[in-house]
Amino acid sequence: MTSPSKATAVTALAPEALQSWIKEHQDLVVIDVRSAAEFETMHIRGSYNVPLPLLSEHTDELAARLGSRVVLVCQSGVRAEQARQRMAAVGLNTAYVLTGGVPGFAAAGGDVVKGKDRWDLERQVRLAAGSLVMLGLAGGKFVSPKVRMLAGAIGTGLTFSAATNTCAMGKALSAMPWNKAAKEPTRESAILQLPVQPAEEGAAA
C-alpha cells in the first residue's frame, strides 16, 4: 500500500490495513474522536483520544502537529468522517477513516485496551430516540393527540441529523454525567502531548 499523498484521495481504511500499518510505520498517529468515556471502555492500543468537540475547537492546531499518516477512528465511522472533513478544511487532506470503527478493529483481531463497560454514544442515541417516539405515540393515544407531535419532532430531527451528518441528541447525551470520564481531555492533555509528526513530501501542510 502506498503512502498517502495528494495523488491518493482520502479514503476509508480497513482494520486489517491499520493492523499492518501499526506494525510497519513509526510515523502513524491514530486519533480516536469519541468521548473520553467511550475511549475508556475500549480503544486501540497506542491511539490518542481527542474528542470531536475538542478537535473541532482546535482543528488548526491539531492539524499542524500531524504528519501525513493519520487515521481517525470512532464507534462506526460517522464522527471520524466529521473530523476528517474539518481537518481537510484546514489543509490536512491525507487522513484516513477506519472502517467499522473501534469495534470493527477489535473484531478483526486488532490490539485493543478494554476498561469499564459502557454503552457507546450512538447506542444511547438510538435508545433515546426510540423511547421518545414510543412515548409520543402512547401519549397521543392515551393523553392527547397533540403528544404525537413529539414523535414527529424526533423523526424530523433524525432526518436533519442524517442530511447534515450531525447529531444534536448525541451532543446533548455526551454531556450527561454517565458519559463523563474520570479525567476529561483538554487542549493541553490531548493535543499538546501529541508527538509532532514530520509531513511526508507531497502531503498537505
> Scanning the structure block, which residue is given the C-alpha cell 454525567?
177
Whole-prediction pTM value? 0.67
Dist. CA 92–CA 90, nearest whole Å: 6
Dist. CA 53–CA 55, nearest whole Å: 5
pLDDT at 202: 41
Digitized pLDDT (tens) for each residue of the chain, 205 residues in all: 444 433 345 489 999 999 999 998 767 899 999 999 899 999 999 999 999 999 999 999 998 888 878 999 999 899 999 999 999 999 988 899 999 999 999 999 999 999 877 667 777 777 777 877 777 777 777 777 776 777 677 777 767 666 665 667 666 766 676 666 657 788 888 888 887 765 554 443 3
> Scanning the structure block, which residue is given the C-alpha cell 487532506?
93
pLDDT at 160: 64
3 state SS for the chain: CCCCCCCCCCCEECHHHHHHHHHHCCCCEEEECCCHHHHHHEEECCCEECCHHHHHHCHHHHHHHCCCCEEEECCCCHHHHHHHHHHHHCCCCCEEEECCHHHHHHHCCCCEEECCCCCCHHHHHHHHHHHHHHHHHHHHHHCCHHHHHHHHHHHHHHHHHHHHCCCHHHHHHHCCHHHCCCCCCCHHHHHCCCCCCCCCCCCCC
pLDDT at 8: 40
Compute the residue count for the chain: 205
